[in-house]
Structures are given as C-alpha cells and as structure tokens.
Amino acid sequence: MPISAAPRAAALLTASAVLFLAGCSDGGGDQAPTAAQPTGTGRMAALTEQKPEWDRCPAPSPAEGGGNAPTPLPGGTAWECAFLTTPLDWSRPDGETIELALIRAKARNEGGRIGSLVFNFGGPGGSGVSALPGFASDYESLRSRYDLVSFDPRGVGRSDPVECLSDRELDAYYALDFTPDDEAEERTLSDAQKKYAAACRKNSDAALPHVGTENAARDMDLLRQVLGDDRLHYFGISYGTELGGVYAHLFPERVGRAVFDAVVDPEAGVEAGALGQAKGFQLALDNFAQDCVDRGDACALPGASVPEVEAGITDLLAALDEKPISGIGTRKLTQTQATNGIAQSLYSKEFWPYLEQGLDAADGGDGALLLALSDSMNGRNENGSYSNIQAANAAINCVDFKERYTLGQAKERLPQFREASPVFGDFMGWALSSCAQWPVPGAWEHPDVSAPGSAPILVVGNTGDPATPYEGARAMVKALGQGVGVELTYEGEGHGAYNGGSACVKKAVDGYLLNGRVPASGTVCK
C-alpha cells in the first residue's frame, strides 16, 4: 500500500484504524463454541498431518495490496509461501474447508533453532503474507533462532477474502461525509452503510459468519501443529494482541514464548474502545503540535501554542466540509479523507514531517499528500485498486461484537466523543453505527483472554500510542491473570514499541524470545 513521497504504510499495524469504517473497533471473537478444539475425527487427523507445499512466493495479490514478490533476505534466504487447509467452521471440523495463505523465512542458525515465531500484524484485516517481508529487517535478530512465519487470516488477502464494493464504488464511498450535519446527510450515510453491508453479503455471504477472532485463533493452533511445534511462539501487534489473548484463553497449555505489542484493551466494548481511540489519537496530535511549537519558525504550520496549531487544523477540516480541494487526478480531498490522512500520519513519529507537509499544502489548496495518506489507510494502490483490508476489518469487527448502534444512538454519544477529541471525536462517534446494517450478528461484548496455566506473556505498552492507548496494556496484563501477563512500558511515540527505536525494549523482547529471560513486570523503557 504505497504512499507517494512517504515512508511505508503503517495501516497494517492498526487496530480498527479507519475512523469512519471501523466503528466496531478492536478485535473480538466469533460464533464458534469456546470448548477445546475438536479432535479425534478423520478430517482433523488429516488436517493436523498435512504438509504444506512450500515454494517461491508470488507477488502479493490485489487483495493483499499488490506489489512485487518479496526479495531474499540478507545472506540470500528466500521467502517461501504455501497454503494451510482449515475448516471453514470450527464447530463443524468435518465440513467445508478453506485455505489460508502462509509465508516463512527459515532461521539462520538451524542448530540453535527454537521453532517457528508466528506474527500477526493487526488490523484486523492486515495481510501477514505481504507485511512480514516489509518489516523483516526489524525482526532479523529473531531469525537467528526462529523461522519467521505469518499468514493471511481467514477473510483476508488470499485466505478466502471478504469482498464488498468494487474499486470504483469504494472511491465514492470513502469520499462521503461521515460526519453528517443534517437529516439529509444522515440519510445519505445510512444508505451508504446499508449498501456496503449488502454488497459484503452478496459477494461473501458464506464466509461472513466464520471470519471472527475465535476461529482465527483455532487456525493458529492448527498452524502450530502443522509447523511441528509443541507450543505456539507468537508475536502479536495491535489487533494481533487480542488474537493472541483469545488463543491463550483457548489453549493456555500450548502458549510458548509470546509477546504482545501495541496492546488492545480486552475489557473495552465497542463504545469504550472507540472513545479510547479518540483520546489516543488526540494525545498523539497534541504531541505532534507540541513538537511543531517547539521548533518555532522551522515548523510550517501557524500557531505559537498547541491550541493555536490545532485550531488551524480544525479550521482546515471545517473548510473541507464545505468545499473539498484538489487532490490526486480528478479526485478531491474531502473532510473525511483529510481526517483519515491525519490519523494515518500519527501512527509513527517518522510520519510527522509528512503530516506537517500535507497540512501546509492543503491549507494552500493542494490536498494530494493528505489524500495519499488516506489512501494508504484504506488500502488503495496508485493504480486505483484496493486491498481488502477494510472489507475484512468490517467483517471481523462486526461478527466479533454484539453491539449494534443506530445512527441516532451514535448521535446521542457525540458530546463525549467531542470532549475527548475536537479533531477526531465526530468521526469516532458517528463510526459507532458502522455495524448497524451488518447481516451477521456479533458474538460477544468483549473477548475472554484469561489464561490460567499459560507461560508468561510479555505485554508491551507505549505511552504515546494513538490507536491502542497505553491503558490497554495494563488491562491485558490483568485480564490474562496472575503470573501470566508481564508488563513492559515504553515511554515513546507511535503505534507499537518494538520498532520504535528503543534499545531497552528490543533487549527485553529479544531476551525473552531468544533466551527465555522474563523481564521484571513493571519495567520501564525510554
């Protein structure tokens, strides 16, 4: 998902990041039973004994985001891809099956190899097959003793992907006003949500009931067995922490060395999760604005204080609500897309210069950079095609969570969202209605991640994280249970900590994954 003149996209590390689509935010479960994974059937025996046919990786599919085939790693190690056959419905393991796309890079040191380290980079809806090669340099130290492995979860990428609107329809959809100002705009938004849900049902009806997090966790346990590991060694980021938590709850005795980074609050339902994100993005914007103020005349944005810098941003968004400006080609930059682009830029401090540049250009009538950032969040390629990250995001969120907010109920909650964030509050508040028209019911209010008997899980929280606020890490530690969650705090910026540049965080995580050294819970890194 390239961004013109910007660094690699952070959207794969999001937890329901698109403000107006992912209102049913932050992971969850599905409708499979919570009993232990079915075993003993002829089909299950065949599934656990399958041998994936590893071969050279093709270029990512359009649903995975497109692009080129992954290039070899340092030393010449080639990426290998395969498929895993798994039940469509884990409550009926002898029924229909689907195939999940896999990718791996073998460990450098075969003699010291621990096993496979399975990654989920978040979303929900992110393709692990396309993400892992892009981030592999960050995890090269871990490849000393692990095969690095990732996958496209069910409904994602090449794994029986959820399909909804066409590319042309998505261009129109993402240009809509998702913060209606009157009854006519509310009807337009409601009609658009209904059309979106109907398209998902028409194009992916059989898959929709089964794409939830619990089924994905069961897929990971099958993957563990097929990879030949007695325990699952796991690195979950953002939504991947919730998926990992659900796995730990279902299979506590099968948890190996696991790390959760950029942690989703497992106790938060739809509304609390969305409100937490509104506060998190506002905090990140405050920090961006403070950096601008601290640099004085070197910052291109007007304002001598944080409120003044942010007033300029809200004024720009208000103007775009009245009249979009020039964007890319014939496409205009709307208020919704500008807000989405701002949010995308807050996922990493490395993006702050592009946010500054984009806001300054938009103030002068050029919305190209903010639109490119928004496109990255939405999975739009420069050729106009879309990955299925947001279709999968909607499908997984809406089957995971029971809550269904009407537009009217979302509207009633706007005051608290506006108080949480003058910039993002309206978008987060209205987004509560995203699942209102969904054709499949949700499973729970929030997932159960209690995991008594599990091996220690290192839970890493970042105090400046916009998408998964820091409080989620402490909530995850508590929910996992005494003696399981080990809390590590990073006082930094951006979404996630391991890739944030802290030698302290990297040393602690690598020490656990590579050598089994569990840091003291409560350790703080800067």
Which residues are identified as catalytic? 238, 465, 495
Query: How far apart are alpha carbons 70 and 75 in whole angstroms?
Result: 14
Query: How far apart are alpha carbons 59 and 151 in whole angstroms?
Result: 15
* Whole-number Cα distances in Å, 471 to 16, 132, 244, 268: 17, 27, 18, 11
Strand partners of residue 149 = 104, 118
Place of tokens 């903010």: 370
Query: How far apart are alpha carbons 371 and 384 in whole angstroms?
Result: 13
Cβ atoms of residues 152 and 396 within 8 Å: no
Per-residue three-class SS string for 65-121:
CCCCCCCCCCCCCCCEEEEEEEECCCCCCCCCEEEEEEEEECCCCHHHCCEEEEEEC
Q: What is the CA radius of gyration of the chain?
A: 22
| H or E element at residue 173 | helix 167-174
Query: Phi-psi bin for 328: left (phi > 0), alpha (psi -120 to 50), beta?
Result: beta
Nearest to 147 by CA among 54, 69, 68: 54
Cβ atoms of residues 523 and 508 within 8 Å: yes
DSSP H helical ranges for 296-378: 306-322, 335-345, 352-363, 368-378
